[in-house]
Homo-oligomer: A and B are copies of this chain.
Amino acid sequence: VNEIIARKKAGKKLSAEDIQKFVAGATTGDIPDYQISALLMAICFRGMDITERALLTQAMAKSGRQFNFDRVPGLKVDKHSTGGVGDKTSLVLAPWLAAAGRKIPMISGRGLGFTGGTLDKLAAIPGYSIEYSEASLTTMLLDVGCFVIGQTADIAPADKKLYALRDVTATVDEISLITASILSKKLAEGLDELVMDVKCGSGAFMQNLRQARELAASIAATAKSAGVHTTCLITAMDFPLGRFTGNTAETHEAYEFCKPEGKYIETARAIFVDKRRLTAEQALIGPLVEITCELAIAMYDAHAGKSAKAKQVAFADLLAIWSSGALERQFARWVETQHGDLPAFERKASEILSGLQSNSATETHTFISPREGYLTACNSMQLGNLMVDLGAGRKKSTDIVSDEVTLEMLAARGTQLRKGQPIMRVYKKEMSPEQKKQIDAVAAMAFAIGRARPKAAKNILARI
């Protein structure tokens, strides 16, 4: 192993044998942590090329349980996001693509830090279960077409081992290691295709387009080299995605999204079919709708990105599923199959929403615009961290999260604000005066109010 470290330190390429030996030894514990961390640090300085990244990804995927859904006919597709604020697209995409005939074996994680986790959002549904045997999962894919379960310790254990060391040795930020960490877990799902949502902006790990492009290119090339076709969309992550942030409210918003009438489908028609200008209410959910639909199109047809015509055809199919009520029914069927009690969940969600709308002094707090101007920018990492502080997210992986705490956006990017106009409000039971002060302080920093109307911003920044 000393020689493997020395080779990488000298800037040489590691062989398949080197990488397999390293990953196997790291997983079993045969290679001591101090050698692992020395190699990780050498990789931070020397990097790995695409072949090495693919070998590392595959070795990590093979380090534990690997699903095999070959028995299930149809294209196995998944979507993965690098993490954002208010991102509930997975909850719409899994049933949508399943209703469109794809098979979606989705394995999700919990949130940590300012980013939310799909699993936390689903945990807000009473009874929803996240652990199944491979036989049950195969049956679900055959019968329902999708599942969303939690990561277990036996999936890519090498990644868990390496991540734990990277976290304490300042070696988290290297792109080969990030790429292999993300893809190893996805490769273990036995996918045919993958769509990656690489978030870019103030509420994402990649804060600028250059970094996001670099990661997207690495993921696409590495996944291809490992045999899984991958489309990467780089999407804007500045304002929270959608109207709500907070586990119950987000899952509720995803369910609302799936319904065949209402503002989500109207907004989608305005963007994709009629190309109309959005109303103020539509503008609030415009980015969520556009990004979700773009991801759905990429999952439905991996080649739709290549022509406007192909994209139009794909979206027409998806819209038909949506407007027919098949998406809503698929959502309900999937949740019920995983033992979720949707009526009970909806009762809980409506309590929270009426709590929010009550504007009760003990449970809600509204941040109002301190002056006249245009809402030009938002730092949603700060809002994400505020949610963590209020109990809706985790500082460390063992924290228990509240699924009631909710942040509602009341103004979209570009909104012309009068002084005192509400920008966002927060719902939390038994909110203290200190918490209200904190909300105001964070929001005052997070939102930028300018004199000039901002230029229209893209939601899809790039496609790789």
- Interface flags, A20-52, vs B, CB<8A=1, else 0: 000000000000111111101110110000000
Q: Which of B5, B36, B42 contacts A34 (CB 8 A)?
A: B36
The answer to whether A35 touches B169 (Cβ under 8 A) is yes
With both beta carbons as reference points, the residue of chain B lying nearest to A36 in the complex is identified as B34
With both beta carbons as reference points, the residue of chain B lying nearest to A45 in the complex is identified as B45
A171 at the interface (CB under 8 A from B): yes
Q: Which of B1, B6, B32, B169 contacts A38 (CB 8 A)?
A: B169
Residues of B within 8 A of A3 (CB): 170
A-B contact pairs, 20 of them (CB 8 A): A2-B168, A2-B170, A3-B170, A5-B169, A32-B168, A33-B33, A33-B34, A34-B37, A34-B168, A34-B169, A35-B37, A37-B37, A37-B38, A38-B40, A38-B41, A41-B41, A41-B42, A41-B45, A42-B45, A42-B170
Beyond the given pairs A34-B37, A42-B170, 17 more chain A to chain B contacts, judged by CB atoms under 8 angstroms and listed by A's residue number, are: A1-B168, A2-B169, A6-B170, A9-B41, A32-B168, A33-B34, A34-B34, A35-B37, A35-B168, A35-B169, A37-B41, A38-B38, A38-B40, A38-B170, A38-B171, A41-B41, A41-B45
Residues of B within 8 A of A45 (CB): 41-42, 45
A165 at the interface (CB under 8 A from B): yes
Q: How far is the CB of A4 from chain B (nearest CB, A)?
A: 8
Residues of B within 8 A of A41 (CB): 5, 9, 37-38, 41-42, 45
CA distance A171 to B42 in the complex (A): 10
Q: How far is the CB of A388 from chain B (nearest CB, A)?
A: 20
With both beta carbons as reference points, the residue of chain B lying nearest to A38 in the complex is identified as B169
The answer to whether B44 touches A9 (Cβ under 8 A) is yes
With both beta carbons as reference points, the residue of chain B lying nearest to A9 in the complex is identified as B170
Q: Which of B34, B36, B170, B171 contacts A165 (CB 8 A)?
A: B34
Residues of B within 8 A of A37 (CB): 34-35, 37-38, 41
CA distance A32 to B37 in the complex (A): 11
CA distance A6 to B1 in the complex (A): 24
Q: How far is the CB of A36 from chain B (nearest CB, A)?
A: 7
- Interface flags, A112-144, vs B, CB<8A=1, else 0: 000000000000000000000000000000000
Residues of B within 8 A of A36 (CB): 34
Q: How far is the CB of A260 from chain B (nearest CB, A)?
A: 50
CA distance A169 to B200 in the complex (A): 36
CA distance A41 to B10 in the complex (A): 12
CA distance A35 to B165 in the complex (A): 8
CA distance A37 to B34 in the complex (A): 5
CA distance A364 to B347 in the complex (A): 97
Q: A6-B170, A42-B41 are in contact. Are A32 and B33 (CB under 8 A)?
A: yes
Residues of B within 8 A of A35 (CB): 37, 168-169
Q: How far is the CB of A39 from chain B (nearest CB, A)?
A: 8
Q: How far is the CB of A48 from chain B (nearest CB, A)?
A: 15
What 6 pairs between A and B have smallest CB-CB spacing? A38-B169, A41-B41, A6-B170, A33-B34, A34-B37, A5-B170
- Interface flags, A147-169, vs B, CB<8A=1, else 0: 00000000000000000010111
CA distance A5 to B167 in the complex (A): 11
With both beta carbons as reference points, the residue of chain B lying nearest to A44 in the complex is identified as B9
CA distance A171 to B170 in the complex (A): 18
CA distance A2 to B41 in the complex (A): 12
Q: How far is the CB of A10 from chain B (nearest CB, A)?
A: 9
Residues of B within 8 A of A169 (CB): 2, 5, 34-35, 38
Residues of B within 8 A of A168 (CB): 1-2, 32, 34-35
Q: How far is the CB of A83 from chain B (nearest CB, A)?
A: 21
Q: How far is the CB of A191 from chain B (nearest CB, A)?
A: 32
Residues of B within 8 A of A171 (CB): 9, 38
CA distance A170 to B3 in the complex (A): 7
Q: How far is the CB of A357 from chain B (nearest CB, A)?
A: 44
Residues of B within 8 A of A33 (CB): 32-34
With both beta carbons as reference points, the residue of chain B lying nearest to A42 in the complex is identified as B41
CA distance A265 to B423 in the complex (A): 94
Interface residues of A in 350-380 (CB under 8 A from B): none
Q: How far is the CB of A340 from chain B (nearest CB, A)?
A: 39
CA distance A6 to B171 in the complex (A): 8
Q: How far is the CB of A271 from chain B (nearest CB, A)?
A: 42
With both beta carbons as reference points, the residue of chain B lying nearest to A174 in the complex is identified as B9
